[in-house]
Chains A and B, each alone.
Chain A
Amino acid sequence: MTQALTQEELIAYFEDALPPDSRADIEERLRHDPQAQATLAEWAAQNEQLQALFPDMSDDPIPAHLTATLRPTPRRRPMLVAAMVALFAVGLVGGWTGRTLIGPGPGHIQLAQAAISAHDTFVVEVTHPIEVPASDRAHMDSWMSKRIGRPMSPPDLAATGFTLLGGRILPGAQSAAGLYMYENAEGQRITLYITQQDSQNSAFRFSAGGSTQSLHWNDNGLGFALTGTLPRDALKTMAKQAYDQLL
């Protein structure tokens, strides 16, 4: 009597992700397992249906703006217009989120909410994710320090694979807030939100808005929030690095 196949074995077999010897074993057991055979047939039918629903597009002409992305020619007007529209939209969103921040009394939750809104607003930006690029670091540091009212210098998170893209200024509750954006090689982005916040020095706390998580803390009159869609442990490792450098 052979053992019935598990779903895990079956899917590994179906997707051709088995080493050759276990493949032979599964095939042997499959012969005695009509239920597993039926499942395989169903899965094959699912694949056919998906392929029928979304046909191959290799015969469709590729829109010119897509190929142009790969071969930048002299500046394209429509892109410029799109960028301006995007910037205007960001202004609207920023203005709106700004409103909610001027609520009564500072608080961790408020800090986290502001950080998450800012994160979600700006990480999706292709053209203008930041105002001042990291390449203009000296200017960014002095400008942001002046606006936030405290010496500002973004931490180096390169050890975790994230490099600084740059920063921007946002409305905050007590002072202007700074938002630094970092990106890794896969295009994943995280942000570090910093604003003045009178509060006791605090431990790390987590807040989440949808799939975006924020790890926030208070230190020395400033509120910090490191925000991204990473697992908590990864965020925590980065927050610790940031914390050590921001002391």
Chain B
Amino acid sequence: MAVLNEIEALIPDLRRYACALLRDRTAADDLVQDCLERAVAKLHTYSGDGALRPWLFRILINRHRDLMRRDQRAGHLVPVDDLVTEPANAATQDAHMALRETKAAIDRLPEDQRRALLLVALEGATIDEAAQALDIPKGTLLSRLARARSSLRQMTGREGASSPRPLHKS
């Protein structure tokens, strides 16, 4: 089936996103597998009008929500060591530090902000696609993104003399 080929072509994107969310490759691939199984089972509900990507990400995100809920109850421990590949070439110490800071900051973002930011900034989803995948209105998504970016900026200590105007949102 043509749709299955399209889904297969999106596996690398799903894996990267899952990896960024979970910070553990095995867990990420498990999540992707869950998502694919669910997608195949739900294929008849897919409308087939080209919105496959947000549809798939939506399934993945729903699975991730379920997973986080279960792990919270089980007293899930977040791995402290680095599972994400370091930049291949020896970057300067500063760049390394900045990346580490960003990585730590991403992990400290509230889950909904993290999902939104990674969809847009990492996966390059458009606002329409991301709003669809997260099942929230575009306006909500935009302010969630602005909040995520501003917390990221604060946490990485790069909020210099020209600090941004506060967003008046919790």
Contacting chain B: which of A103-111, A150-158, A184-192? A184-192
- Residues of A within 8 Å of B150, CB to CB, are 7
Residue A58 is within 8 A (CB to CB) of chain B in the complex: yes
The reply to whether B84 and A49 contact each other, CB–CB distance below 8 Å, is no
Contact of B16 among A6, A57, A120, A124 (CB under 8 A): A57
The reply to whether A49 and B98 contact each other, CB–CB distance below 8 Å, is yes
The reply to whether B121 and A50 contact each other, CB–CB distance below 8 Å, is yes
**In the complex, A60 Cα to B14 Cα: how many Å?**
13
Asked whether A11 and B145 contact (CB < 8 A) given A60-B12, A187-B62, the answer is: yes
Q: Give the secondary structure class of B's interface.
A: helix
- Residues of B within 8 Å of A229, CB to CB, are 65, 69
Residue A2 is within 8 A (CB to CB) of chain B in the complex: no
**In the complex, A57 Cα to B62 Cα: how many Å?**
22
Contacting chain B: which of A31-39, A196-204, A237-245? A31-39
Q: A119 — nearest CB in chain B belongs to which residue?
A: B69
- Residues of A within 8 Å of B52, CB to CB, are none
Contact bitstring B48-69, A, C-beta under 8 A = 1, else 0: 0000000100110011011101
- Residues of A within 8 Å of B66, CB to CB, are 123-124, 189
The reply to whether A210 and B16 contact each other, CB–CB distance below 8 Å, is no
- Residues of A within 8 Å of B121, CB to CB, are 46-47, 50-51
- Residues of A within 8 Å of B8, CB to CB, are 62, 67, 70
Residue B108 is within 8 A (CB to CB) of chain A in the complex: no
Contact bitstring B145-167, A, C-beta under 8 A = 1, else 0: 11001101100001010101101
- Residues of B within 8 Å of A233, CB to CB, are none
Residue A211 is within 8 A (CB to CB) of chain B in the complex: yes
Contact of A120 among B7, B70, B103, B135 (CB under 8 A): B70
The reply to whether B62 and A65 contact each other, CB–CB distance below 8 Å, is no
Instruction: Give me the interface of B with A, judged by CB distance under 8 Å.
Output: 4, 7-8, 11-13, 15-16, 19-20, 29, 32-34, 36-38, 40, 42, 45, 55, 58-59, 62-63, 65-67, 69-70, 72-73, 84-85, 87, 98-99, 102-103, 106, 117-118, 120-122, 126-128, 135, 138, 142-143, 145-146, 149-150, 152-153, 158, 160, 162, 164-165, 167
Instruction: Give me the interface of A with B, judged by CB distance under 8 Å.
Output: 4, 6-8, 10-12, 15-17, 34-35, 38-39, 42-43, 46-47, 49-58, 60, 62-63, 65-67, 69-72, 117, 120-121, 123-124, 126, 185-189, 209-212, 229
